[in-house]
Structure 1
Amino acid sequence: MLLRKCALGGFRALLCRTYTQNQKHIVVHPEIRQALSQKQPIVALESTIITHGMPVPQNVETALQVEEMVRQNGAVPATIGIIDGCIKVGLTQEELMKLAHKPREQVIKCSRRDLPYVVAAQQSGGTTVAATMIVAHQVGIPIFATGGIGGVHREGHVTMDVSADLVELGRTPVAVVCSGVKSILDIPRTLEYLETQGVCVASYASMGGVFPDFYTRDSGCKVPYNLETAADAARLLRAWRELDLQSGVLIGVPIPEEFAADKSAIDAAIEQANAEAQAQGVSGKEVTPFLLSHIAGITKGRSLQANIALIKNNAAVAAQIASAWVAGNGHQCGDSREPKKKPVVVGASILDLSFRVKDMHGLHLDGATYKSVAKHAAGGVGRNIAEGIYKLYGEVNLISAVGNDHFAQMLRQLMPAALQSNLIVDAQHATSLCSVIFDRLGDCKLILGDMDVHDSITTAALKAKSELFSQAPLIVMDSNLSEQAMSSTLQLAQQFQVPVFFEPTDMFIAGKPFKLPAELTQHIRLLKPNLHELKTIVEAITGQAVKHQPDTKQEQSELLKQTKGLLRQIDTRFNCIIATLGNHGVLLSIRSDAETDPSKLLSLSPSGEHTTLFYAPPKLQHIVNVSGAGDSFCAGFITALLKQCHTLDECVATGFASAERALLSESAVPDSYIKEGDNFESYFQQIEEKMQRKRI
């Protein structure tokens, strides 16, 4: 996932939160990228367990089980490894298998010192605790789960054999959740070394602060602090992040009691394995895997089972801590000192029901029963745009209305939980329902809608949420609102000096806000009408009828000429009008200074001279659903603006890329704009390279 340094400079900030130039060798899996963007709890996982820690097939089986433990405890797993010189954050199952089955001599056990060589030589590697911490920190993941860390080796005071893990903990701000220091090491000296490095060390749910030693629950050493619960650990990590100490935290979790080894037996096995290592001249980074392998043989596999049990338990605990951190508004991902401002969307939430007739004979409104295929989905222009912004930008407040009925329950189940906190519940009205009937060829024949619940978005309800508006960088408003609700929304925009993006929704109601006083409508700085809605808006603003009937099926040059004629009648009232022209593309009328600085589109100052630009997207085959493409375009375009992309082309390409994802989805808003095995940046890049742009 290498981004072009020049044209994609602005988009690098769009979905890549903590990247710097030295990270061009790091590929972040789309699921991890989206989790970072949406501030979801994430747990980093190392890969030496796959390459050097366990034999096949236990290594792959354990890696997958550990990832599943993270998911079951509410977080997203991000296994880190290096394949053919590319550092991967979030290995796929295929990549895990590839790494696991490479011959051992072709896979390097990577610490900090090894990373430059492995990347430059395009080799593969398993990341140690130290290397995993480095990569996790660079991409913005602050919690990492592993089995046990390295430490000061026995006789380390003579040999000076000290693990790089300890040094990394002293200089890289990542919290490491583990079962303490591996039993094969000198644990007292390791803890002394960590104290010297300034590392905060704590035990977890351990009586009396006893520190674990990997295979057993009691190393014989105590640490200053014990964390009883995930919430306790999350509070510590929040304070650690706020203090910006630039050093790590080590949390020692005892192995589950039923898997703990007998201390005397494991100590005897370690002594025997150490003697064999010295006899065979094993040294350096080969010592740990040699000892673990021989201890497994000596204990007849019991140590391997204990190893598997403890790392799964550590992953579960790390996920619980990460979830508690996020739930406590700890801003796990990104900079907690600069929280992202949330745009506000005020508009409709609708439960869409569709029926596609299967009968061969014609469809008539004659009371007959027709066989059909029924589907239901979450809809509503405001809701669609809000969900799109949430999935792309990560933050949004949706103000919408639902009833207190079964339809509301169905709608809520289809909506992200993050969009539901500001829903207005009106027990006097049914949840908005839209029923669409298609014939067997897919042509829409009838639409029935119950929209009365939208009147529940009243002046009082909006003023009660005024704090949301006061902190918003942008307000998005759709035309399903009553005139009173529109007036109140624009009054709040005026009060807090926030620009408004207007989505006209339908040609019959597109002109509704322009009946309001000009001092309110002047805060509408952006709008996205289709050709019919644009005609309605022009007539509402100018008070004059448009004589010709817009038609997107006419020859393109004539279509652009007529559309530009309509735009010129109203363009100076706005910063940006995005006129959608069906499969032709979009015609943008923008204030001229925004062509080089798109942030001007959010300005409340007068717009002055305007420039008209036409963008034609690349052709798309196998379209699945057209119902939410325009709303996803809005979400992508708005996200690019809020993320301060550097070029207007990037903003439009982000809109097109988002719309295409929706066109390929069964639902109005796709489950994810980032497909597994893909990344949104490369998709966006393809769109930008293929779309056509010309000045009109």
Structure 2
Amino acid sequence: MRRSSCRVFRALTRTFSTKQQIVVHPDVRHALAQKQPVVALESTIITHGMPMPENVETALLVEQDVRRNGAVPATIGIIDGCITVGLTQEELMELARKPREQVIKCSRRDLPYVVKMGQSGGTTVAATMIVAHRVGIPIFATGGIGGVHREGHITLDVSADLVELGRTPVAVICSGVKSILDIPRTLEYLETQGVCVATYASEGGVFPDFYTRDSGCKVPYNLPTAEHAAQLLRAWQQLNLQSGVLIGVPIPAEHAADKSAIDAAIKQANAEALAQGITGKDVTPFLLAHIARLTKGRSLQANIALIRNNASVAAQIACELAKEQSSTTSRKSSIKNPLVVGASILDLSFKITEKRNLHLDGATYSGVAKQAAGGVGRNIAEGIYKLYGDVNLISAVGRDQLGQILRQLMPQTLQNGLIVDESHATSLCSVVFDQSGDCKLILGDMEVHNSITPQLLKERSNLFRDAPLIVMDSNISEQAMTCMLELAEHYQVPIFFEPTDMFIAGKPFKLPPELTRHIRLTKPNIHELKTIVETITGQSVNWEPNTKVERSELLAQAKQLLHQIESHFNCIIATLGAHGVLLSIRSDAAHDTSKLLSLSPSCEHITHFYAAPKLSNIVNVSGAGDSFCAGFITALLRSHSLDECVAAGFVSAERALLSESAVPSTYFHNELAFESSFRDALQTLQRHSL
């Protein structure tokens, strides 16, 4: 049975990096690197706090609330021993579907065991604080924290959350202490731990008690606005106290429960827990579930409302706190980011499951349909974003439902440069794969790409000016290509051309040579290479490409084609299917890859063939070439050697081949894991000079 792509990825990452146990989603990593506001979220509401389906629905709504208020959500959980910061929707669902007895409620003490044994867990307040602090997230939103249990002065049952607040510098935004606990003793304990406790927009500093707005206790400080809260947190950070901050946000009045009814339900639930011998970390989930039944679901709705409100408040505070970093972010924005101009497409793929040959004869074939974000330009941009860290994308979508779906599937950062067209539909591409995963037919509506006009490109000329490299796919119009080449000439920036399809691969080379000379790198497959040769030379090639022939024959034919056009480029990466890649590079770039970005005329060329690594359990072949491109470009921009650039391309393509989507949700844990992976791949990489 085929494992899911995320599970395959987690298995691979444990193989490549045993030292690094935390995976950070690229959106979260990017936001942290850019000093953008991020809010950590826990996962015990998914695994232990709420029933299905309310647990997943609430988790997704909470993330939406964080985004709506200008911050990036980072839900933290553990899946198969991998601590993950920024769970995807697929991972949230996977965690929720696991039987409760297979998911551990993880506090500090549980983390080593769960990671070591490859188990899954929902992180409590304490564990979420630890992970958030480890990756640099200062603000965490939750429902309510643990505390001193009733009769805790006798049983010494005190939540680890309180100790963690005393030693981990994370600000916790919550609706106070769960009302099932002893709130006065909890506040006393927090004072002993040196935790700064304040309320948010609460008259008279009245501390909330989860389901209701008034616990009967007061705290010393009240923060009337997000700006006041951020000012307190700035001072807290500057003092480097190494302890947490607790901000109690009252549940919105319209959702607050009746205090007498809740108190009665808590009393009855406690009596039932005592009668059943419920102890330890099982007490809180038991009491919350029992109270929900006793209040006929009203407590659950109050729980959902307060969590969502806390997430919104936390996001607002995070945004205020991030404002002081604006000058740093502005300076960072001057760092040169690669630019990608090309297609964004909603891919609808069909994989035939019947064991019979495909014929275009009107017959019906059984298959599996999938929907994903696609488009060569978009895929490459997302790959570079996840591997390199920063990239700009210029692309076009329609203002329609398909466009909304596509944008939901794209990282938020890549949407900044999208052109939204009122008059054209979002590009939809239907792809048919046979049983082995080979692409047999593609039908596409590409009209919206004509919305990338010369005028709109000129309006974004600063992106061309600041780019170390421009990536152009062949889906855009010749007019847009002409404008891009003129801008590349003006700002002296090299272009990496992705031919996209054999029928349009020659498009830019129909333009005057004085324009196309800024196309310094290209990555055609063997069919596209033939088209480019025919367009540049003006002569037909009397050879029909076929990757099924013997490797020696294929290499000989490919080398002949490369020789005819090599003087036009610094680097041609000819992909030869499962055989590997054949590179034609200027000889002075063999030991200095910066020459691949040079705008000076090409000198003598040399060719190298790299055999593709063998890979089993292939899930999807549609995005492998785009991921190779992203990996190669990332290593090139980081000044790695030619062999390392190729190895980076191969390991990135491998991740795509093991992913359900064209671009994997995550390639590697971090930059170190990426470099470790392609350096390991160098050990088995076969290079032959030709």
- Shorter-chain TM-score: what band? 0.5 to 0.7
Deviation of 1:176 after TM superposition, in Å, equals 1.4
Q: How does 1:265-284 map to 2 (within 5 A)?
A: none
Distance in 2 (CA, whole Å) between partners of 1:249 and 1:604 is 55
CA contact (8 A) 1:326 1:332 kept: no
- Taking the TM superposition and a 5 Å limit, the aligned residue runs for 1:620-635 are 629-635=624-630
Q: What is the match of residue 650 of structure 2?
A: 653
Q: Give the CA deviation at 1:258.
A: 3.6
1:460–1:66 CA distance, 2 compared to 1 (3 A): closer
Name the residue aligned to 1:18.
none
* Aligned-partner Cα distance in 1 for 2:550–2:98: 53
Cα distance, 1:568–1:325 mapped onto 2, change above 3 Å: farther
Q: Choose from 44, 59, 63 the match for 1:67.
A: 59
Distance in 2, Cα, partners of 1:483 & 1:308: 58
Query: How far apart are the structure 1 equivalents of 2:114 and 2:149?
Result: 26
Q: Does 1:552 align with 2:549?
A: no
Question: What corresponds to 2:582 in structure 1?
Answer: 587
- Which SS does the other structure have where 1:259 is aligned? coil
Q: Please list every run of 5 or more consecutive structure 1 residues that lacks an aligned counterpart in the other structure.
A: 13-20, 277-285, 365-369
Quote how far apart the aligned CAs of 1:464 are. 0.6
Q: 2:307 aligns with which of 301, 306, 315?
A: 315
Q: Return 231-240 or 582-591, whichever deviates more.
A: 231-240
| 2:612 counterpart letter in structure 1 | A
Instruction: Report 1:235-274 matches (<5 A).
Output: 248-255=244-251, 258-259=256-257, 261-262=259-260
Give the CA deviation at 1:529: 1.2
- Residue 587 of structure 1: SS of its match in structure 2? strand
Distance 1:121 1:613, change over 3 A: closer
**CA offset at residue 654 of structure 1?**
3.5
Aligned to 2:214, what secondary structure does the other structure show?
coil
CA contact (8 A) 1:479 1:504 kept: yes
Partner of 1:503: 498
SS at match of 2:572: strand
**Which residue in the other structure is 2:185 paired with?**
186
After superposition, where does 1:206-225 map in structure 2 within 5 Å?
Answer: 206-214=202-210, 216-219=212-215, 220-225=217-222
Cα distance in 2, alignment partners of residues 490 and 483 from structure 1:
10
What's the secondary structure of 2:25's corresponding residue?
helix
User: Are the counterparts in 1 of residues 227 and 317 from structure 2 also a CA contact under 8 Å?
Assistant: no
Say whether the 8 Å CA contact 1:470–1:496 is kept in structure 2: yes
**Distance in structure 2 (CA, Å) of the matches to 1:296 and 1:409:** 40
Q: How does 1:418-497 map to 2 (within 5 A)?
A: 418=412, 419=414, 421-424=416-419, 451=447, 454=449, 456-497=451-492
> 1:685, CA displacement in angstroms?
8.3
What percentage of aligned pairs have identical amino acids? 47
Contact persistence 1:110–1:128 (CA under 8 A): yes
d(CA) in 1 for partners of 2:470, 2:348: 28
Per-residue CA deviations over 1:414-465 (Å, capped at 9, x if unaligned) read: 34464555444667878778899999999979979775x6555443321111
CA contact (8 A) 1:526 1:575 kept: yes
Deviation of 1:651 after TM superposition, in Å, equals: 1.6
Distance change (3 Å), C-alpha of 1:327 and 1:361: same
For the 8 Å contact 1:618–1:687, the answer to whether it is kept is no
**Bigger Cα displacement from structure 2, 439-448 vs 505-514:** 439-448
Kept in 2: contact 1:325–1:331 (CA 8 A):
no
CA-atom RMSD in angstroms: 6.2
In 1, Cα distance between the equivalents of 2:346 and 2:291? 60
> Structure 1 pair 424/685, CA: closer, same or farther in 2 (3 Å)?
closer
Give me the whole-angstrom Cα distance separating, in 2, the residues matched to 1:127 and 1:421.
33
Structure 1 residue 149: deviation in Å? 3.7
Q: How does 1:166-205 map to 2 (within 5 A)?
A: 168-169=164-165, 172-181=168-177, 183-184=181-182, 185-186=184-185, 189-190=188-189, 192-193=191-192, 196=194, 199=196, 201-205=197-201
Residue 101 (structure 2) aligns with: 101
> Equivalent residue for 1:693?
686
Map Cα deviations across residues 516-568 of structure 1 (whole Å, 9 max, x no partner): 56665454332111224324444555x47476525224321121123234334
Contact 2:496 2:522 in 1 (8 A): yes
For residues 609-659 of structure 1, give each alpha carbon's deviation from its aligned partner in whole angstroms, at most 9, with x where no partner exists: 645132324366787775x55445434544565677783344222442255
Deviation string 1:488-516 (CA, Å, 9 cap, x unpaired) is 21333344444321112344553444465
Contact 1:494/1:520, CA 8 A, preserved across alignment: yes
1:527 partner letter = T
Secondary structure at 2:471's aligned position in 1? strand
Alpha carbons of structure 1 residues 321 and 630: separation in structure 2 relative to 1, 3 Å: farther
Equivalent of residue 25 in structure 2, options 14, 23, 33: 33
CA contact (8 A) 1:479 1:503 kept: yes
Tell me, yes or no, if the aligned pair for 1:525 and 1:574 is still in contact at 8 Å.
yes
Asked if the contact 1:594/1:648 (under 8 Å) is kept, the reply is no
- Tell me which amino acid in the other structure corresponds to 2:558: T
Closer, same or farther: CA 612–324 of 1 in aligned 2, 3 Å: farther
Q: Once the 2 structures are TM-superposed, how far is the Cα of residue 582 of structure 1 from its aligned partner?
A: 3.1
Once residues 436 and 95 of structure 1 are traced to their aligned partners in structure 2, the CA distance between those partners, rounded to angstroms, is 31
Would you say the 8 A contact 1:81–1:126 is kept in 2? Answer: yes
Q: Distance in 2 between matches of 1:629 and 1:236?
A: 47
Choose which of 78, 88, 96 in structure 1 pairs with 2:75: 78
Which whole-Å CA distance do the structure 1 matches of 2:239 and 2:601 have between them? Answer: 43
Change beyond 3 A, Cα 1:240–1:380: farther
Find the partner of 1:578 among 566, 569, 573: 573
* Conserved? CA contact 2:589–2:595, under 8 Å: yes
Give the whole-Å Cα distance in 2 for the aligned partners of 1:263 and 1:352. Answer: 52
Q: Corresponding residue for 1:347?
A: 342
Aligned with residue 223 of structure 2, among 215, 226, 230: 226
C-alpha distance in 1 between matches for 2:609 and 2:392: 31
Query: Alpha-carbon deviations, 1:75-134, whole Å to 9, x = none?
Result: 767354698x8756668677678795379xxx897437x766887799998855333311
Structure-2 separation of matches of 1:323 and 1:482: 41
Letter in structure 2 aligned against 1:615:
A
Post-superposition CA distance 1:178-236 (Å, at most 9, x none): 22246525355456457x55x4x4433433443224465334314434355xx769966
Aligned residues: 632
Q: Which of the numbers 519, 522, 529 marks the counterpart of 1:527?
A: 522
Q: Where in structure 2 are the equivalents of 1:299-378 lying within 5 Å?
A: 312-321=304-313, 338=332, 342-348=337-343
Unpaired stretches in structure 2, ≥5 consecutive residues: 1-9, 32-36, 68-72
The C-alpha deviation readout for 1:151-174, integer Å capped at 9, x for no partner, is 689999999999765564465443
Counterpart Cα distance in 1 of 2:442 and 2:128:
57
Matched-pair contact (CA < 8 Å) for 1:34–1:391: yes
Alignment of 1:136-155 (within 5 A): 136-149=132-145
- In the alignment, the residues of structure 1 paired with residue 138 and residue 168 of structure 2 have an alpha-carbon distance, to the nearest angstrom, of 10
Distance across 2 between alignment mates of 1:691 and 1:159: 60
